[in-house]
A and B are shown apart, each in its own frame.
Chain A
Amino acid sequence: MSAAAAPAPVPQPPPAFEDRERVRRELEQTWDQPPGLVPWLTSVDHKSIAKRYIVTAFVFFVLAGLEAATMRAQLARPENNVLGPDAYNQFFTMHGVTMMFLFAVPIMEAMGLYFVPLMIGARNVAFPRLNAYGYWVYLCGGIFLYLMFFLNTGPDVGWFGYVPLSGPEFSPGKRADVYAQAITFTEIAALVGSVELIVTIFKNRAPGMTLNRMPLFVWAMLVQAFMVLFAMPWVATATQFLAMDRLIATHFFNPAEGGDALLWQHLFWFFGHPEVYIIFVPALGFVSSIVATFTRRPVFGYPVMVLSMIATGFLGFGLWVHHMFTTGLPQLGQSFFTGASMMIAIPSGIQIFCWIATIWAGRPRFTVPFLFVLGFVVLFIIGGFTGVMIASVPFDQQVHDSYFIVAHFHYVLIGGAVFPLFGAFYYWFPKVTGRMLSERLGRWNFWLFFIGMNLTFFPMHQLGFEGMPRRVYTYLPETGWGDLNLLATLGAVTIATSMLLFVINVVKSLRAGLPAGDDPWGGETLEWATTSPPRHYNFEYPPVVESRSPMWESGPEMPVVTGLRTDVRDTLVTTLLDAEPDSKHRHPNPSIWPLLAAVATTVLFVTLIFTPWGAVIGTPLLLLTLLGWGWPRGREKWEQQLVESEA
C-alpha cells in the first residue's frame, strides 16, 4: 500500500452501455478458460473445480453402489457363494469408505464450492489455487484407493477400522495401511474445502449482505465447514496413530504396553459422529433453497433456522459415545450421551416444523425438486425416530451392530442427505448446464428411488430384531433371515434402476434438454441473477444486496458495484459482519502448481505406507512444489500498477 496521497475523487456518471460491453469483453478475456488439456489441468475457476468434484464423487457413488449391489447379491440367499468372506470384507469396507469419504463429504462440499460464491455475489472462492489442490488430492486419493482395491490390497477392516483387528497383529499385509492413508487424502481435501468456504463466506460476500441476510444454504455450508475443521483432524490423528502402530511399532492401541483399544473408538467416533452431520447439514441447506423457491416465499423463521443449524453443529460434537454403548463404559456417563443424542433431535425437528409452516403459508409447485423434499421429510423422520430410539442405552445394547442400525443410518443418510442432494441436482442443473432435466424421467427417478429405498431398508429393522448382526458375509438357513434379505435385494435392484434413469436423464438433457435461461424457477438468491451457465467471472459487476431475498426484492434494478479492474483478476473483499467493502484482492491466474503439489502429496502418503523413509522422500518434494506455488510474482508489475494508480 502506497503512502502517497490519494488523488481527489472525481464523480462520474454511471457506466454507459458501450462501457458495459467493453467491461464484459475484458472480463471474458481476463477470466477466460479456453478449451484444452492444459487449461483444464491448470484451472482455478471454482465452478470448473466444483463440477469435477461432483462428477468424480458421482462416479464413486456408482462404484460404491455396485459394491452394495454385490453385497446384496451375496446376502440374498443363505450360504450363498457370490463372495467369500475375504472378498466380502473388502467389499463392505470399500462401500463404507467410498460412500462416506469419497462421495458424501466431497459432493456436499462441492455443491457449496459451486453455489456459495454465486449466492454471495463473489467472483471466486477466496483461495483459488488451494481449491484446485484440494480437488487433485481428492482425485489422487480416490484413484489410489481403488487401484489398491483392484490389486487385492483394498482395506478389509470396515470403514471404522476398529483395533486390534486393524492393528499389526491381526491385519497382515498393507491393507489397513492403505485404509489409514487413503483417509488422509480425503480429509485434506475436506479441510481445504472448509477453509475455502469459511473465508469466502466471511470475507467475500457482496456489499450489503450482512450475516443476517445470508441465504440459509450459505449458513448451512458455513456450519458444515466449521464442523469439518474441528472433526477431521481427529480421524487424521487416529489413522496416523494406527499407521505408526503398524509401521514403527508404537503402542497407542496396545493394552499390554499402556495403550488402549478403546482409544481408537473414542478418537474415531469423535470424528465419526460429526462426520454424519457434516453430510447432513448441507442437505438442510438444499431443502431450504428448494422449499423457498417452490413455495414462492422465504423460509419461515429465518433466525430460528439459522440457530438450529448452528445448534446441530455444536451438539453434533457431543454425541460420539453413543457408538460405544456396548463397550462397558460407566452407565452414568453413557446417560449424558443419551441426553445429548436426544437433544439434537430438537433443532432438526424445529427445522422440519418451519419447512412445513413455509409450505403451509406458501404456494407449492410440484416439480421434481419439491418431490424430493417431500420424500426427504418422510424418510428423515423415520430415520430420526429410530435414531432417538437407539439413543437409549438399553435399547441400543440390544440392536447395536445389528441390521436395525444399518436401517437407521441408511434412512438418515439416504433420506436425509441423498434425497435433498438429488433435489438439488434437479434444482440447479439448469443453472450449471443451461438446460432443464426432464420432469417425466425425474418423477420416475424419484418414485423408483423412494420405493426401492423403503423396500431395501425397512425390512432391515425387522432383521435386526431377529438377531442378524452386521458385517456378516452369510448366514445360516435355519435363522430364517433369508426372505427379508431377498426382499432387500429386490429393493436394491429398484434403487439401481432409478439411478440408471437419473444418468439417462442427465445424458439426454445435456444433449437436448430445454434451454433454461437465467432464472427458470424464479428463485430468490443471487445465483439466479447471472447467466446459465455462469460466466467464468460469475457477475460482471458485484451486486449490492438489500434484503434476504435479493432476486425477489430488488429484481432487475439491483444496484451493483463498479470499480474492479477488468484487466487482472480483481475481486472484492468485504467486512465480516456487515459486508461493507474493505479492500480488493487480486486472484491468481491459472497455475499448474496445485496439481504438482497434489502429486507430491500423493507420493508422500503412498511411500509412507511402505516405509517410514517415505517422509524423507515425500516431504522435500512437497516443499519444492509449495515453493513453486508461492513464488512471488515479478515486482515490477506491482510497482507499475502503483505508479499507474497515482496517475
Chain B
Amino acid sequence: MSSRFRNTAFAGQRGRSGYGCHPERSEGTIAMAFNRPFGSFASLRMTIASLRMTIFATTVLTLVGCQREERNFQGMPPSATSTMPATRQTGLQPGPPVRSGPMNGPYEQNAYGVSQGKTLYNQFNCSGCHFQGGGGIGPPLMDDQWVYGSSPENIFETIVEGRPNGMPSFGGKISPDQIWQITAYVRSMSGLLRKDVATGRNDDMQVRSQEQAADKAKPVQSVIPPSAERQ
C-alpha cells in the first residue's frame, strides 16, 4: 500500500480532504470521448469509410439470403412439366428436342436445392460413373472442360436426354425439379456457384474438398469425341 494513500483519511467521519483544491474542468465531451490518439477527425473518417464498405457488403450478402435460404418443397407446379416419355436409349430422336419447365436453373442461388442435388447425385448413383467429380467411367465434372455445354439448360438436357458413350437418359425417371437440383450441384462442383450457396463437406469419408472451396473453373467448350458425333 502506498504511503501516500495511507495518510489520507479513509475511515471514520473525521476525514480530511485528500487532494488539492484545483478541480479540473472536463473538456468538451466529444474530444474527451475520442481521447485524441490520432487526431479525432482523421480516425472518425477512417472508421466511417470502412464501416460503410463492410455494411454494404454484408447487406448484400444478407439480403440475397432470402433467395439462398428458401425451401421450395412443392417444386415446380405440375402443370409446368410435360409428360416424359419412358426410357430413351439413343441420342437420335424423332421430332424436336424435349423441353420442360423453366430453362434458367431455378436452384442456382438456392442452397437448399444445391444440397438436395448433392444428396440425389449420390443416391441416384451419378457418382458411379462420375465419382465425386473427378470422373472415371464418365468424364470429370469438376474441371473446366464441358462437352455438351455448361449452362444450366445444357446440363439439364444432358441428364434428361442422355448422351452417347454411356450417359443414360433420366428423362422419365427423375422428376424435372430434382434434375434441376442435380444440375445446380453439378455446376457447383467446378466452382460456378456462389460460395455461400455451394455445399460444405459431407458427414462421410472425405473424398474431395468441399464444393464451397472449389476454385471457379471457367467453362471451356471441349471437343465432342468422334464416337459421339451424330451420323
Contacts and interface: CB of A to CB of B under 8 A. Distances in A.
Answer whether A and B touch in the complex at a CB cut-off of 8 Å.
yes
Interface of A: 1-2, 5-15, 26, 29-30, 34, 38-39, 42, 86, 147-148, 151-153, 164, 167-170, 172-175, 207, 245-249, 251, 253-257, 544, 559-568, 572, 581-584, 589-593, 596, 599, 603, 606-607, 610-611, 617, 621, 627-628, 631, 633, 637, 641, 644-645, 647
Interface in B1-30: 1-20, 22-24, 26, 29-30
Contacts of B206: 249, 251, 254, 256-257
Contacts of A10: 16
B65 A14 contact: no
Contact of A561 (B10, B112, B204): B10
Given A593-B35, A607-B58, A567 B201 contact: no
Nearest to B14: A14
Interface stretch (B66-74, B139-147, B167-175, B220-228): B66-74
A561 B4 contact: no
A566 B22 CA distance: 10
B203 A170 contact: yes
B56 to A, nearest CB: 12
A12 B15 contact: yes
Interface stretch (B43-51, B95-103, B156-164): B43-51
Contact of B203 (A30, A256, A560, A562): A256
Interface residues of B, number: 69
Interface of B: 1-20, 22-24, 26, 29-30, 32-35, 37-38, 43, 47, 50-51, 54, 57-58, 61-63, 65-66, 68-71, 73, 111-112, 114-116, 195-197, 199-206, 209-210, 212-213
Nearest to B67: A152
A38 B30 contact: yes
Contacts of B37: 627-628, 631
Q: List the 6 closest pairs (A to B, CB-CB), nearest first.
A: A168-B200, A562-B15, A567-B23, A172-B115, A12-B16, A173-B111
B199 A168 contact: yes
A387 B35 CA distance: 53
A633 B66 contact: no
B194 to A, nearest CB: 10
Contacts of B212: 247, 249
Contacts of B10: 207, 561, 563, 572, 581
A611 B26 CA distance: 44
A217 to B, nearest CB: 25
Contacts of B70: 152
B13 A173 contact: no
A170 B65 CA distance: 18
B18 A563 contact: yes
B4 A2 contact: yes
25 contacts: A6-B6, A12-B9, A34-B29, A153-B68, A164-B203, A169-B199, A172-B114, A173-B65, A173-B68, A173-B69, A174-B65, A174-B68, A207-B11, A248-B213, A249-B206, A249-B212, A249-B213, A561-B15, A563-B8, A581-B11, A591-B32, A603-B51, A617-B54, A628-B34, A645-B19
A9 B14 contact: no
What's the dominant secondary structure at chain B's contact region?
loop
Contacts of A6: 3-4, 6-7
Given A12-B16, A26-B23, A610-B61, A151 B66 contact: yes
Given A14-B14, A172-B115, 17 more contacts: A6-B7, A10-B16, A12-B15, A15-B15, A42-B33, A86-B71, A151-B66, A168-B210, A173-B197, A174-B65, A249-B200, A257-B206, A561-B11, A567-B22, A592-B33, A592-B34, A610-B196
B18 A565 contact: yes
A618 B99 CA distance: 48
Nearest to A8: B7
Nearest to B37: A631
B114 to A, nearest CB: 7
A6 B4 CA distance: 5
Contacts of A637: 24
Contacts of B203: 164, 167-170, 253-256
A7 B201 contact: no
A628 B62 CA distance: 30
A37 to B, nearest CB: 11
Nearest to A644: B20
Greatest chain A CB density within 10 A among B23, B32, B200 is at B200
